[in-house]
Amino acid sequence: MSSNIPNVKLGIIAVSRDCFPISLSIARRAAVVKAFGKGLYECPVTVENENDALKALEDVKKHNCNALVVFLGNFGPETPETLIAQKFDGPVMYTSAAEGDGDLINGRGDAYCGMLNCSYNLGMRHISAYIPDYPCATAEEAALQIKEFIPIARAVLGVKNLKIITFGPRPQDFFACNAPIKGLYELGVEIEENSELDLLVSYKEHEGDPRIKDVCADMAAELGVGGNNYPELLPRMAQFELTLLDWAEGHKGARKYVAFADKCWPAFPQQFGFEPCFVNSRLASRGIPVSCEVDIYGALSEYIGSCVTADAVTLLDINNSVPASLYEKEIKGKFNYKLTDTFMGFHCGNTPSCKMCADRAVKYQLIQHRLLEPEGSEPDFTRGTLEGDIAASDITFYRLQCDSEGVVRSYIAQGEVLPVRTGSFGGIGIFAIPEMGRFYRYALIQNRFPHHGAVAFSHCGKALFEVFKYLGVRNIDYNRPAGVLYPSENPF
């Protein structure tokens, strides 16, 4: 996982208004560092003027810091403190010191006031920065705020150093996965678009690769006896996995991290001889998302979730409603959800095995078998999906999308996968999100989001919300509670 997501090295710089005691900022900075514990570099330069700001920046860069906390130990100098963020190539957080560690004459810092001027100056310079909900903190509170900043910083660093590699145009009638690349460049993401033929040529060049044997063994160990239904298929899938990994390494270019958006049907299984889903799931578990159906913004969304959680994620269709009979039998009275709060999230088989129930297994893609192979025949090239119920878990369902007008939009909703069997096929689970019915109608449908949503397997909505804000996304939908109307919701 760590090889494709950033490792955050945080530094803290204290600032001081020259008409306040500099000792106040120094002492308060030291208290924050002590409360934080290991992993926060304490810059010894306390910034009172522009020259100090340059010295502090030189120091943190020398110590390989890629994210910063600017700490107002007192009122703070407006220009120097914002120049730090302007000249630093990485995410920056601002917070300030609460009073209470000294008298209110020589020991008063007025950082509560200084944060207002700091914010005003950040705005004038068009600088993005993370400011906590209540940026007037004791040392212990500031330490907790900084820890909450780490996953945000990790995602911002990842996005700014990301290349999305695509293979093939979207499948026919999949305009929902539209991907105006203007939004990618606005977010700082690079893109490399290739054809399916490029991928096929590279795949064939990997035939007989001596590494295939070891990858097959790893796949077999992951699946276990019960999940390895087609052991003869493993060499083909291992060859494909190596193809993608080698392509990523050879095509990163000036970027550090990669994600893929691949065309997986209808030509892929016929030409490659298998479905790519299991391989996609394995890469996703390592922080290298491979989105289905050339969903570029799906890949971007997955990658952000990987950075925020440092865990495996998946991409699913917001797929089908839960039958009323299943709801009445297995959910009603056992879980505090209405029928309209529930739905099934599904995809052919791209969810990492570590997020699925123990009886997951490599199977075949039923829908494509119907479409591409003779009726009544044994599945052949439609094999390769990882299927089973998704394990019960807290989840965050979210997406970043550039719409047809070139506006970057997003949504975030927290919920859970219920421990209820679906009785269906594919990689699938019963999801429950409070007020999902209204969210589905007045956020997802109303704002024309596509059918794919990214899934993180924890409640990380708070961090995702801050990441999207930091990246400049102004439209962030969420599942509004009962009684809080959406702008287009009929009040009658």
The identity of residue 113, as a single letter, is C
pTM: 0.96
Q: Is 59 found in the same domain as 170? A: no
Cis before 434 (ω within 30): no
Q: How many CA atoms does the CB half-sphere of 394 hold within 13 Å?
A: 6
Q: Is 216 found in the same domain as 88? A: no
Cβ distance 398 to 414 under 8 Å?
Answer: no
| pLDDT for res 175 | 65
Q: Identify whether 438 is part of a domain.
A: yes
Report the C-alpha gap between 416 and 432 in whole angstroms.
5
| pLDDT for res 251 | 97
The identity of residue 275, as a single letter, is E
Q: Identify whether 487 is part of a domain.
A: no
Q: Is 204 found in the same domain as 108? A: no
Report the C-alpha gap between 184 and 401 in whole angstroms.
9
Residue 55, both tokens: 């010295």
Q: Identify whether 489 is part of a domain.
A: no
Strand arrangement, sheet containing 10-15: 40-42, 10-15, 67-72, 92-96
Q: Is 338 found in the same domain as 466? A: yes
Report the C-alpha gap between 409 and 338 in whole angstroms.
28
For 70, phi then psi, to 5°, come to -100, 120
Q: Identify whether 432 is part of a domain.
A: yes
- Which is nearest to 399 in space by CA: 468, 326, 481? 468
Q: Is 105 found in the same domain as 181? A: no
Q: Is 178 found in the same domain as 151? A: no
Q: Is 168 found in the same domain as 108? A: no
Q: Which of 253-281 are b and which e, b meaning 16 or more Cβ less than 10 Å from the residue's Cβ?
A: eebbbbbbbbbbbeebbeebbbbbbbbbb
DSSP symbols for 311-377: S-EEEEEEEEPPPHHHIIIIIBTTBS--GGGEEEEEESS-S-GGGB-TT-EEEE-HHHHHHHS-TTP
| pLDDT for res 169 | 81
316 forms bridges with which residues in the sheet? 453
Domain of 248, in residue numbers: 161-478
Q: Identify whether 127 is part of a domain.
A: yes
Q: Identify whether 318 is part of a domain.
A: yes
Q: Is 423 found in the same domain as 319? A: yes
CATH number of domain containing 91: 3.40.50.10940
410 forms bridges with which residues in the sheet? 400, 476
Report the C-alpha gap between 315 and 452 in whole angstroms.
6
- Which is nearest to 436 in space by CA: 343, 345, 373, 355? 343
Q: Identify whether 491 is part of a domain.
A: no
| pLDDT for res 466 | 98
pLDDT tens-digit profile, the chain (492 residues): 568 999 999 999 999 999 999 999 999 999 999 999 999 999 999 999 999 999 999 999 999 999 999 999 999 999 999 999 999 999 999 999 999 988 999 899 999 999 999 999 999 999 999 999 999 999 999 999 999 999 999 999 999 999 999 998 877 777 666 678 899 999 999 999 999 999 999 999 999 999 999 999 999 999 999 999 999 999 999 999 999 999 999 999 999 999 999 988 888 999 999 999 999 999 999 999 999 899 999 999 999 999 999 999 999 999 999 999 999 999 999 999 999 999 999 999 999 999 999 999 999 999 999 989 899 999 999 999 999 999 999 999 999 999 888 899 999 999 999 999 999 999 999 999 999 999 999 999 999 999 999 999 999 999 999 999 999 999 999 999 999 999 999 999
Q: Is 76 found in the same domain as 191? A: no
Report the C-alpha gap between 354 and 335 in whole angstroms.
24
Residue 151, both tokens: 């996953």
Chosen domain end from 127, 159, 191: 159
Q: Identify whether 490 is part of a domain.
A: no
Cβ distance 66 to 8 under 8 Å?
Answer: yes
* Residue entry with tokens 């903190």: 137
Q: Is 96 found in the same domain as 183? A: no
Chosen domain end from 159, 189, 218: 159
| pLDDT for res 179 | 77
Three-state SS string across 432-450, please? ECCCHHHHHHHHHHCCCCC
Report the C-alpha gap between 204 and 286 in whole angstroms.
24
Count of domains observed in the chain: 2
- Which is nearest to 346 in space by CA: 387, 305, 384? 387
Q: Is 418 found in the same domain as 332? A: yes
Chosen domain end from 105, 134, 159: 159
| pLDDT for res 168 | 84
Report the C-alpha gap between 172 and 169 in whole angstroms.
9
Q: Is 176 found in the same domain as 85? A: no
